[in-house]
Amino acid sequence: MLSIQKSELIATYNYKIDGLDESLNYRLEIYKTSNAYKGLVFRLDMYNLMASFPRTEQDNPYINADVSMFIADDYFYNDEQLTRTTQEEVIAIFEEKLKLLFNTSMSLS
């Protein structure tokens, strides 16, 4: 038997990490389910898109050469790791993991 679980997006937080060769951007989305709060993390990445359909030799093979998209970040992709009973717990765990990822005691503002 199929079951459908409904969740509501209740908050979105954007984090910009400066001080590296280039800045990194993360997005934390927090969803409320029937019994918990769940965080999903995305990282802003840039891609060069190329046409997959036939083009003439005179055409530039790149379409919108630089495209930025938020993609799910594999480092944070674990259902249990960012599932807690309060929204504040989810944020605290994410921020701690972010600090560990960059091995720093960065300040969050």
- Residues 59-82 have pLDDT tens digits of 665 555 677 889 988 787 776 789
Q: Which two tokens stand for residue 95?
A: 């921020």
| Residues whose CB falls within 8 Å of the CB of residue 106, separated by 6 or more in sequence, listed in order | 17, 19, 98, 99
**Domain of 43?**
8-98
pLDDT reported for residue 28: 96
In this structure, the strands spanning 37-47 and 24-32 are antiparallel
Residue 19 is assigned to a structural domain of this protein: yes
Residue 32 in any domain: the answer is yes
User: How high is the pLDDT of residue 66?
Assistant: 76
The yes-or-no verdict on residue 38 having pLDDT over 60 is: yes
Q: Is residue 109 a part of any domain in this protein?
A: no
Q: Domains in the chain: how many in total?
A: 1
Q: What is the mean pLDDT of residues 80-95?
A: 92
- Asked if residue 107 belongs to a domain, the reply is no
In a domain, 77, yes or no: yes
Residue linked to tokens 């209740």 = 10
Q: Is residue 3 part of a domain?
A: no
